[in-house]
Amino acid sequence: MKPLVASIALTASLLGSTLQAADVVTIDVYRDPSCGCCEAWIEHLQGNGFSVTDHLEKNMTEVKRQLGVPQELASCHTGVVEGRFIEGHVPAADILNMRKQPSIIGLAVPGMPAGSPGMEMGDRTDAYQVISVDQENTTSVFNSYP
């Protein structure tokens, strides 16, 4: 019986080490204190394994300006991952895919489309696009939903 217990302990130890070594993505989220959809988007990120630092800001226009978010792509909250901006209700999967593309300086979901993460409204889902911004400030469609 002792060899089985030792084997289980070793397996659990190795599994624990593997889980700790997993790539946890840290994101800083800047939002207005009164915005509920921003909290829902943060929950979406956390549910997808992100570590979120929540910053309450009164002047989001200035935050966006400092982070280089193009005005035409603005939404309610702004995140920062590895020095790149994440504007609005960008799905977690798109943020993870962006990390594999070093030429992209940010992603945005302009406005607040129904059905995007944090903007769930029952069965209602509006079509929306995730827009990427590259180092030359050129925008392109990164992903489309639905």
pLDDT at 26 exceeding the cut of 60: yes
Neighbours of 60 (CB within 10 A): 19
Is 90 exceeded by the pLDDT of residue 19? no
Contact 114, 121 (CB under 8 A): yes
What pTM was computed for the model? 0.84
Query: What's the mean per-residue pLDDT of the chain?
Result: 88
Length of the chain: 146
Backbone torsions φ then ψ of 42, nearest 5 degrees: -60, -40
- What is the predicted pLDDT for the residue at 23? 84
Could you tell me if 143 and 127 are in contact, meaning their C-beta atoms sit under 8 angstroms apart?
A: no
